[in-house]
Amino acid sequence: MKKRINPPKFSKGRFRRVKVIYDRENCIGAGSCAVVAPQFWKMKPDGKANLLNSKINKKTGNYELELEVDEEMLAILKDSEDACPVRVIKVIEIK
């Protein structure tokens, strides 16, 4: 896994609101997300990952999860984004 050169900067005790967007249809079941971030991802019997506690966006068909994270949790989420070989995981900061 590539090393993070510019880790996200946080003031002490600060949280950030992020949205995780997951295109489950195009998941190839590599399982890397569930290895690096098992608190967010779980492999299912159909061979694809589930983004835990997410809801489907009926317009896009993607699964989405909004949450507030500290620096450590954001790094874990970003690791799962980076680990996905088909780039079906997006982690974006929202206001």
Contact 85, 32 (CB under 8 A): yes
Q: Rule CB under 6 A: is residue 76 a binding residue for ligand SF4? A: no
Q: How far apart are CA 45 and CA 28, in angstroms?
A: 13
Interface segment toward ligand SF4; rule CB under 6 A; list 12-20, 53-61, 65-73, 83-91? 83-91
Q: Which residues contact 84 (CB under 8 A, 6 or more apart)?
A: 30, 32, 33
Q: Rule CB under 6 A: is residue 91 a binding residue for ligand SF4? A: no
Q: Which of 8, 19, 28, 57 binds ligand SF4 (CB under 6 A)?
A: 28
Among candidate residues 28, 6, 1, the one with its CA nearest the CA of residue 74: 6
Q: How far is the CB of 30 from ligand SF4 (least distance, A)?
A: 3
Q: Rule CB under 6 A: is residue 83 a binding residue for ligand SF4? A: yes
Q: How far is the CB of 28 from ligand SF4 (least distance, A)?
A: 5
Contact 30, 22 (CB under 8 A): no
Q: Using the minimum distance from each CB to ligand SF4, give the nearer residue, 69 or 89.
A: 89
